[in-house]
Amino acid sequence: MDAEFNRTYITLGGYVGVDKYGYLYFVILLALYLLILCTNLTIIYVICIHRNLHEPMYIFIAALSVNSILFSTAIYPKIFIDVLSQRQIISHSACMFQYFMFYSLGTSDFLLLSAMAYDRYVSICKPLQYPTIMGRITVTVLLALAWFIPAFELTIAIVINSKQKVCDFTIGGIFCNNKMLKLYCVQSTFLNFYGLFIMLNAVAVPVIFIIFTYIKIFIITYHSCVEVRKKAAETCLPHLMVLICFSCLGVYDVITARSETDLPKSVHLIMSLQIVVYNPLFNPILYGVKMKEIKKHIMRLLCKQKHMIH
């Protein structure tokens, strides 16, 4: 690889109307970013300080919030710079970093959701064995695997990508995702198959496992008492809603990154923004509203803050 290659700058060609609406974009996106930080930090804070929330389910929820903060911080600051700049460019190395963060954290979310599904299965279907099965070591191992496996697999992809020569210097998006693979002079067959491998083992397998697990849960709870069914609904439905949101946005990312479409740039821009808004913001709001214990502590925190202000 030539020395000059590392200094290659790539144009982000997915922006629309930045000259006219740059400041408006900045204000709206900054508000969203601050909201994402506040909501996710609140979830993490509440779970950390309350001992009754030091359970596997809530620990996994906190891990999802950590992912949301890291994901947003890898994307939003660069967008702030771009909407206020005349040229929307990014260095090749920074683009690779965004690519790494985007997909490693995205696939980590699916693994965390599968760990949560397993936790719910053991809690509802094997309650007497739950303390033994879901001990501290098990939770630590599941967390480590959820973060390590995607990071390791994406590191391999980054190393291979770094040796590819760039012939095109414009990405049709506002951040670096799989569209950057179209920049290389030669499309690597190995990288295409490796990307499919990552998608299968880090996304498809967890999704299938989650669906299978929840089917088992619903079959067992269907024949149980009302209290058990209520508990299953309260804890499982939020996870399923998050999974559906993740899956829909993941499918959209794969379709737009891998195929050429004739949709207007404005439509691509709106959909790209949805990817970086929905996931980080949807999680804490959903869990804060739907999870009874988290909601209770958040309401107490808000009332306490209100009392201190007055």
199-210 pLDDT per residue, tens: 888 888 888 999
- Which pLDDT does position 260 carry in this prediction? 55
Q: Closest Cα partner for 64 from 142, 177, 125, 138? A: 142
Q: Which two tokens stand for residue 23?
A: 């400041």
CA pseudo-torsion sign 48, 53, 59, 64:
negative
Report how far apart the first and last C-alpha atoms of the chain are (Å, whole number): 63
**Which range, 82-86, 159-163, 176-180, 290-294, has the best average confidence (pLDDT)?**
82-86
Mean pLDDT, rounded, for 182-195: 78
Taking the CA atoms of the chain, what radius of gyration do you get in angstroms?
21
Q: What's the mean pLDDT when you consider all of the chain?
A: 83
Q: Which range has the worst mean pLDDT, 46-55, 272-281, 288-297?
A: 288-297
Strands of the sheet with 9-12, listed across from one edge: 89-91, 9-12, 170-171
Specify which residues 89 forms β-bridges with: 11
Q: Is the pLDDT of residue 58 over 70?
A: yes
Q: Which two tokens stand for residue 302?
A: 């808000």
> Where do the structural domains in the chain lie, given as residue ranges?
8-309
Q: Which range has the worst mean pLDDT, 157-161, 240-244, 265-269?
A: 265-269
How confident is the model over 67-97, as pLDDT tens digits?
999 999 999 999 999 999 888 899 888 888 9
Domain 8-309: which CATH number of 1.20.1070.10, 1.10.10.10, 3.40.605.10, 3.40.50.720: 1.20.1070.10
Compute the distance between CA of residue 100 and CA of residue 82 in angstroms, rounded to an integer.
Answer: 20
Please report how many Cα atoms fall inside a 13 Å half-sphere around the Cα of residue 8, on the Cβ side. 22
Mean pLDDT, rounded, for 255-260: 61
Instruction: Label residue 244 exposed, middle or buried (CB < 10 Å: 0-12, 13-18, 19+).
Output: exposed
Q: Is the pLDDT of residue 243 over 70?
A: yes
Compute the distance between CA of residue 269 and CA of residue 79 in angstroms, rounded to an integer.
Answer: 12
- Which pLDDT does position 1 carry in this prediction? 42
